[in-house]
Amino acid sequence: MIFEPTLSSHIYSLPFIGILLSISLGPILFSEIWHKNYFRFVIFWSLISLTFLIGKFGGAEVGHEWMHMFLHEYVPFIFMIAALYTITGGIHIVIKTRAKASLNSLFLVFGSFLASFIGTTGASMLLIRPFLEMNRHRKYKVHLVIFYIFLVANIGGSLTPLGDPPLFLGYLQGVPFWWPMQHLFLPMVKLLLILITVFWLLDYYLLSKETPQPKARQEGERRFNMTGLRNLPILAGVVIAVWLLGSWKDAPQVGFFDLTWAEVIRDLLLLTLAVLSWKITPKNVRHYNQYSWEPFKEVAKVFIGIFTTIIPVIQMLHQGRAGPFAPLLELANPGGQPDNTLYFWLTGWLSAFLDNAPTYLVFFHMAGGDAQVLATTLAPTLMAISAGAVFMGAMTYIGNAPNFMVKAIAEKQYVKKMPSFFGYLLWSCAILLPAFVIFCRFFLYE
């Protein structure tokens, strides 16, 4: 941040709090108004934030800082989501087989690991329909969607920056591409084993209460079919582009706003791959997937407001104990040393009820904001922040973008009625909270 003098009042953080509360409570308290006017809410809070800053620092300095944020953080974030959303939306999978607890468990494990490489949104949209199709004749199906949200839409996105938006934001801040794989692989596997065991026991019990299913297929009918295979090499191209260009540390400067050629080439490649996928994918494939641009548009519009209003918050966090967040910093860093358990739970609970991407960013900067230090000396702290943001985004429907999308698809396909917001919270408190307590107590810092 370049603002001088420093910010000394919490008033500058109010627009950020306002936009997060609007995103969290709008779909619950006034759903129809929110979905018709959410971009107006975003513009409102963004303009208030910019007005506060311009009054303090002047238009030129604020404009430069906003453009720096836009080019270095917002554009690559949105281009990455656009690429993964477009490419995975061009792949359609059909699975026809008899549902078994073991097969369902394997499917969730596969989907969880896949989510780390094509994103929780991509994996969720790609696999939820074939997962429900496998279990279409079952009487008890709600638990299938609940655990799908837990694992595929959230916890599975732990291993690369492509997996979940918080980790991609960390990557943009300078965290190495393979850092999550090195530090979150074992924590994710241990938590996955706990939850898959619970799922298998529950699914096996519920299957035993149901009447036998009819034969899954007729003679000559294929058990497995995937269309849109031409998108697979394009998907691999996204992974390679983000990984290799992110490792180009000595890339020359472009000449404005501190952009490097590595950043420019990466963003152009992501955009090109998304357009290529759109052009070569037959329209009927996206039709089968019920593809719509609306979820992406909402993410793009909401996050420009989040990135705008978080600018002063990050500035104040960087002021450390001389800034307005000194009491919170002292709580999280008693005696100057980070309390990693507290970082896990604070990041996690705020991720559950707000959005996990900006929550990650706040606690990343609360822990110092130096990616090199956090990735090495303070690796346990960054691991706690990352795990809290990614894992506990599963606690509510609003913790991570795919959660509501999976719920909506499930209600249109074989699941008559999913739990309400608070009904889902009861499920997550009963299953996830004990798992997180065990995980935090015995596994997180080994």
Domain boundaries, the chain: 10-443
pLDDT at position 393 is 92
Contact 96, 221 (CB under 8 A): yes
In angstroms, the CA 95 to CA 128 distance is 11
Q: How far apart are CA 73 and CA 66, in angstroms?
A: 10
Prediction pTM value:
0.82
**First and final C-alpha spacing in the chain:** 35
Q: At what angle do helices 294-318 and 401-412 cross, to 10 degrees?
A: 160
- Give the whole-angstrom CA distance, residue 223 versus residue 225: 7
- The H or E element that residue 224 is part of is strand 224-227
Return the half-sphere exposure (C-beta side, CA atoms, 13 A cut-off) of residue 55.
9
The token pair at 396 is 């509510």
Q: What per-residue confidence (pLDDT) applies to 220?
A: 45
Dihedral of CA atoms 223, 227, 229, 235 in degrees, nearest 10, equals -110
Q: Tell me what pLDDT residue 145 has.
A: 95
> What pLDDT score does 338 carry?
87
Give pLDDT, residue 137.
85
Determine whether 229 is exposed, middle or buried from the number of CB atoms within 10 Å of its CB (0-12, 13-18, 19+): exposed
Residues 6+ apart with CB under 8 A from 260: 248, 251, 252, 253, 254
Q: Are 80 and 165 in contact (CB under 8 A)?
A: no
**CA gap 211, 138 in Å, rounded:** 9
β-partners of residue 226 are 93
Calpha distance 365→259 (Å, rounded):
21
Give CA separation, 180 vs 66, 102, 133, 198, 393, in Å.
28, 28, 33, 25, 17
CA distance 440 to 191: 10
- Return per-residue pLDDT of the chain as tens, 446 residues: 455 556 777 888 899 889 988 887 887 788 889 888 999 999 999 999 999 999 888 888 899 889 988 998 899 889 988 898 899 889 988 887 777 899 999 999 999 999 999 889 889 888 988 898 888 888 889 999 999 999 999 999 999 998 998 999 899 889 999 999 999 999 999 999 999 999 999 999 999 888 766 554 544 455 778 888 899 999 889 888 888 887 777 788 887 778 888 889 999 999 999 999 999 999 888 888 888 888 788 888 988 998 899 888 888 877 777 777 778 778 778 877 888 888 999 899 988 887 788 889 888 988 888 999 999 999 999 999 999 999 999 998 878 878 877 887 888 777 878 888 888 999 999 999 999 998 887 665 55
Please tell me the predicted confidence (pLDDT) of residue 219.
45
Contact assessment for residue 227 and residue 91, using Cβ atoms and an 8 Å cutoff: yes
Positive or negative, the Cα torsion across 370, 374, 378, 382?
Answer: positive
- Provide the 10 A C-beta neighbour count for residue 99: 21
Q: Which pLDDT score, from 0 to 100, does residue 214 have?
A: 58
